Chains A and B, each alone.
Chain A
Amino acid sequence: MRLKVQVKNILAKQGTTAPLLLFVVFILLGFVAYPNLHLLQQSFFQDTQFTFSNYLSFFDTTNNSNLEALWGSIYISTLTVFFSALVGVPLAYLFTHYDFPGKSIFASLAVLPIVMPPLVGVLAFLFLFGESGILPRAIQVIFDLETIPFSIGGITAILVVHTYSFYVYFYLFASNFYNDLDASVLEAAQNLGAGTGFTLQKIIFPMMMPALSGAALLVFMAAMASFSAPFIFANTTRILSLEIYQTKLNGNLDLAVTQSVILAGFSIIFLILLRIYSGRKRYIGGSKGVKIKTKVIQNGITRWFISTLGIIAVILLILPHLTVILISFVENGTWTWQMLPPSYTLDNYVGLFEDPKIVEPITNSLKMASYATLGNLIFGITAAYLLIRKTFPGKKIIEALIMLPWAIPGTVLAIGLVVAFNMKNIFTLGTILVGTFWILPIAYFIRNLPLVFRSTYAALESFEPAQEEAARNLGAGWLFAFRKVILPAIAPAILSGALLAFVLALGEFVSSILLYNYYNRPISLEIISQLRVFNLGSAAAYSVFLIIIIGLVVIISNRFLGKRTGQVVV
């Protein structure tokens, strides 16, 4: 009798689990596993013939352009990690340890690069620091120099843009670390007679290692995948993500696919390293700990010095945004060799609201980002719920599949979709996706899969299952309990993840450039094509629009959902 009831209960439980699980597995197989396996398979084929020749030509020693590109990617990514750490960690130290005038403004501006869509940031740097950039020309004019004093281009430019965009990861990781640091440990060390250097070497540094290596691997992966900066600045430097695009463009899809597999392979290795590090236990003291007291800087000269430094840093951080705003008022086609734009107009913004040809990309992007994010929400909540609350075999595989798109650079993801969905298959219900409106929302959905899943997972994990059980015992159905008990508790965290996914999808460029068509052309592509026909103003007006939307989302998240946004990124 008892046994019967138990079996019945299990069956009832499986009743909700099975269809949900089926849904999750279907999505993962169809949109994560299938395109990537297809990509892997195609890299071993040339016209229907099984062969290793694609790989042989990649590693061909007589023509090392591909190896050079791989090396170029690794080299730039390594330097990016170094410089991002160099900026991010000291900045975090400064903010968590000292108090000085203007600190709060400064601290909130430090995450400003997040508000810069990737392609837009690159263009801003080009107009600001390039060979004919505003700054080099201004200094030339002010000091009446023969030639411009400096300019950035090539690898230097890529590194500057990368550091600007990615130091935030180090900054956030390090800030979290310092905030969690138990001051009593440091005091204990001091009382036992340890000097500053000794404490740093023996206590702070070892404790900080997991956070630092996490940030480092994340930045490394982001830099390996980076496309916009090389696209504008690489010149003759070979970089793998860009090389894939060029090879595909030249019509050699087989080699492009092989390059993609190799780039993805390297990223996945780093993701595995990242998992190993983040899986390690954090150093947490036995007591609740004492927060580090921030020191108010009293010394007049130091105060003055740090404040000046702060103001300079703020200006540097905000200059790219100001540049984009300035260019958005430039009359199209007028700004050529002059230091500053010669004439200004509001037309670019008027067009943004009136000209249907200009409005369309905006509505396209808004729609596609919404669809993708809705998909992410439904999938993320379902998957996280299943993984935390239910028991079934293969959990690890499902989790790995969900996290996979994170390690796969946008270029590779797009190539995978091109080769996989250029024909009919069951996952797309027998339609061809390439060339349709839906290919981009799906690409955005896949790219942001890990993000929304992680934020949901974290929220659900900290939610006490007893509350759900209580509701169920009181007679609530599964859906009712979920809606009335679980959802309200986890909504803020989920929403902040979803908003971030929405923002990323809105400004997405890397996959879009390989997959867009007329009916879904997104803002980022319109920025590039406006730029191609010399409409600097229109391109910048789009960019300002993107920056404002992203800014609003960040403010909303911080204001209403707590400061989780940054944590979701990392």
Chain B
Amino acid sequence: MHKNLITLFFIALLYSCSSEDHTQEIIVYSPHGKEVLADFSERFEQQNPGTKILWLVMGSQDVLDRIRSEKVNPQADLWWGAPSSFFMNAANEDLLQPYKPTWSAALNKTQHDSLDRWYATYLTPEVIAFNSQVLTKETAPQNWDDLLKPEWQNKICIRNPIASGTMRAIYSAMIWRFYKETGSPKKGYEWLSKFDASTKSYPANPTLMYLQLARQEALITLWNMPDIELQKQVYDYPFDYVLPKNGTPVLAEGLAIIKNSKNPDLAKRFYEFITTPENLAIQAEKYFRIPARNDIPPEMLPKWMNDANINAMDIDWQVFSEKSKEWMEYWSQNIKGAGKP
């Protein structure tokens, strides 16, 4: 019997010592969700037989941390999605490979790196999302400061902000509102402290956050517009959102080739593929992503996108890129949970 077990063990061991050819494949790190990634990697593979687009979906901060850890031995080839401030940090740390896309003229200069190390793909507005079985667009909080009202006490859940690009951008924007006038984050920290006191929980990932919102464990969250639309339309979640009237951060979400990519040519082809006007139109239609390219004819885009009245907050993303780590560390160490008894 023991002999058999040992034999079995060795069979399990020998079972495929893989030495596959990795030349015609790239790995993409992205927070954009499996729906978009599965869709466009399949489209690309169909049109380019023999290629493989492999992807890992994770939070934006996860991506940055990972690329940083893998600097000496890069594993990924392409980084698709995260607020521009993340890409600025990565560019400063020499983690990105310059590439000038064919459509580079279609962006304004705040939407790409001056050295071509990253370009924006989408403009993503952040929103106040709510459970639409309980609240309506009228009864939900309309502005950031409304969130601090006592009526929302313990009705808010926030995706653990440390790992999330969306949440880091929103929290940084809340500090920025005061920082740009006073030059100090102090008042912003005070705002976040009050907000922490109203926050019921910090779920570890977006799904747990969606579940809490859907199950009415919490009624309100802060998140980005495309994801909320997607959950609402695809999974029939009872979600809706308010675009804060006095301005909301609109993230330019970046795209970049990672330095020392093992297959930069294929990475460039996929880079171009996901940013053609046709494919951006599909992403707009199916996944509610607002393209950053300004040369896409309005008739190619869904009506709601052309009608949307988004009041973008005036933000210096360079400051976000420089301060975000300090601000978030302060939040994590001094503010998180401090408002609770």
Contact = CB atoms under 8 A, between A and B. Distances in A.
Note whether A and B form a binding pair. Answer: yes
Contacts of B79: none
Contacts of A333: 234-235
B5 A423 contact: no
A336 to B, nearest CB: 4
B325 interface: yes
Interface stretch (A32-40, A234-242, A280-288, A446-454): A234-242
B216 A337 contact: yes
Interface string B224-241: 000000000011011000
B198 to A, nearest CB: 13
Interface in A398-439: 418, 422-423, 432, 434-436
Nearest to A422: B72
Given A232-B204, A333-B234, A249 B65 contact: yes
A529 B31 CA distance: 11
A482 interface: no
B235 A560 contact: no
B68 A251 contact: yes
Interface stretch (B94-102, B119-127, B207-215): B207-215
B201 interface: yes
Contacts of A528: 205
B73 A374 contact: no
A336 B237 contact: yes
A495 interface: yes
Contacts of B65: 248-249, 251
**Most chain A beta-carbon contacts within 10 A, residue among B234, B238, B333:** B333
A53 to B, nearest CB: 15
A63 B333 CA distance: 7
A465 B237 CA distance: 69
Contacts of A529: 56-58
B92 interface: no
B332 interface: yes
Contacts of B328: 250
B205 A531 contact: yes
Interface string A125-159: 00000011000000000000000000001000000
A251 B64 contact: yes
B163 interface: yes
A131 B337 contact: no
Given A65-B332, A336-B211, A337-B214, A533 B34 contact: yes
B217 interface: yes
Contact of A249 (B1, B162, B217, B235): B162
A246 B57 contact: no
Nearest to B35: A533
B162 A246 contact: yes
Contacts of B76: 518
B337 A63 contact: no
A116 to B, nearest CB: 19
B58 to A, nearest CB: 7
B315 interface: no
A434 B211 contact: no
Contacts of B27: 518
B155 to A, nearest CB: 13
Contacts, number: 132
B201 A423 contact: no
Given A250-B325, A531-B207, A532-B207, A367 B214 contact: no
Contacts of B334: 63, 65
A363 interface: yes
B2 A374 contact: no
A430 to B, nearest CB: 12
Interface in A357-381: 363, 366-367, 370-371, 373-374
B38 to A, nearest CB: 8
B191 interface: no
Contacts of B202: 235-236
A231 B208 CA distance: 12
Interface string A294-305: 000000000000
Contact of A495 (B5, B58, B214, B333): B5
Interface string B64-80: 11001110111110000
Interface in A504-533: 517-518, 521, 528-529, 531-533
Interface string A50-71: 0000000000000101100000
A491 interface: yes
A418 B75 CA distance: 14
A566 interface: no
B206 interface: yes
A367 B332 contact: no
Contacts of A488: 2
**Most chain A beta-carbon contacts within 10 A, residue among B27, B211, B334, B337:** B211
A544 B205 CA distance: 22
Interface in B9-37: 9, 12-13, 15-16, 27, 33-35
Contacts of A83: none
B329 A533 contact: no
A533 B27 CA distance: 19
B84 to A, nearest CB: 17
Contacts of A235: 201-202, 337
A82 interface: no
A132 B213 CA distance: 11
Contacts of B210: 534
Interface string A330-368: 000110110000000000000000000000000100110
B62 interface: yes
B307 to A, nearest CB: 29
B61 A250 contact: yes
Contacts of A131: 212, 215, 217
Contact of B72 (A238, A246, A248, A432): A432
Contacts of B214: 336-337
Contact of A370 (B1, B13, B35, B216): B13
A435 B75 contact: yes
A236 B337 contact: yes
Given A336-B235, A492-B2, A521 B70 contact: no
Contact of B332 (A231, A237, A250, A534): A250
A366 B238 CA distance: 40
A436 B73 contact: yes
A488 B64 CA distance: 51
B206 A249 contact: no
A69 B332 CA distance: 12
B319 interface: no
Nearest to B13: A370
B323 interface: no
Contact of A518 (B5, B54, B204): B54
Contacts of A201: none
Given A337-B238, A495-B2, 8 more contacts: A65-B332, A153-B201, A250-B162, A250-B329, A336-B211, A367-B13, A495-B5, A529-B58
Interface of B: 1-2, 5-6, 9, 12-13, 15-16, 27, 33-35, 54, 56-58, 61-62, 64-65, 68-70, 72-76, 162-163, 196, 201-202, 204-208, 210-212, 214-217, 234-235, 237-238, 325, 328-329, 332-334, 336-337, 340
For the complex of A and B, 4 pairs with smallest distance between CB atoms: A236-B337, A132-B215, A65-B333, A336-B214
27 contacts: A65-B334, A132-B211, A153-B201, A232-B204, A235-B201, A235-B202, A236-B196, A236-B340, A246-B162, A250-B328, A251-B65, A252-B325, A333-B235, A370-B9, A370-B12, A434-B73, A435-B69, A495-B2, A495-B5, A495-B6, A517-B70, A518-B54, A529-B58, A533-B34, A533-B57, A534-B235, A560-B2
